[in-house]
Amino acid sequence: MTLTKADLVQVVAGKEFNRKNAAKIVETLLEKIKESLETGEDVLISGFGKFCVREKKKRRGRNPATGEDLILKSRKITTFKCSPVLAKRMNRK
């Protein structure tokens, strides 16, 4: 089973919102997280984890198909660091 956005909408709808409203609220919540990361600012959800923006330096790479050398540009990536609280809860027997 995979949990999807539809499940999130459903649990939010359980908080006295109609489905349409709940869907909009979930979308706004996700948008706020993305906006922050877009500006390079980390998002820390205590007890859950931290979404971090990291800068990767440019480096020399190779096209594995042609063997051709090329330069991979510097870029920004998003990483997730799990909260120790969540890690503990995931590993409790």
Partner 1 sequence: MNKSQLIEALAKEENLAIKKAEDVVNTVFGDLEKALIRGERVEVRGLGSFKVKTYDGYKGRNPKTGEVIEVAPKKLPFFKVGKELKERVDVD
Asked if residue 70 binds partner 1 (CB under 8 A), the reply is no
Total interface residues for partner 1 by CB under 8 A: 46
The single-letter DSSP state of residue 74 is: P
* Of the candidates 8, 76, 12, 80, the residue with the CA atom closest to the CA atom of residue 43: 80
- Compute CA 41 distance to the chain's CA centroid, rounded to the nearest angstrom: 13
Nearer to partner 1 (CB atom), residue 14 or residue 67: 14
Asked if residue 90 binds partner 1 (CB under 8 A), the reply is yes
3-state secondary structure of 58: coil
Interacting residues with partner 1 between 7 and 36 (CB under 8 A): 7-8, 11-12, 14-15, 24-26, 28-30, 32-34, 36
Among the listed residues 18, 63, 66, 91, the single contact to partner 1 using CB under 8 A: 91
- Cα-based angle 43, 1, 12 (whole degrees, multiple of 5): 50
Residue 3 and residue 9: Cα distance in Å, rounded?
Answer: 11
Summarize as ranges the residues that interact with partner 1 (CB under 8 A): 1-5, 7-8, 11-12, 14-15, 24-26, 28-30, 32-34, 36-38, 41-49, 51, 53, 75-80, 82, 86-87, 89-91
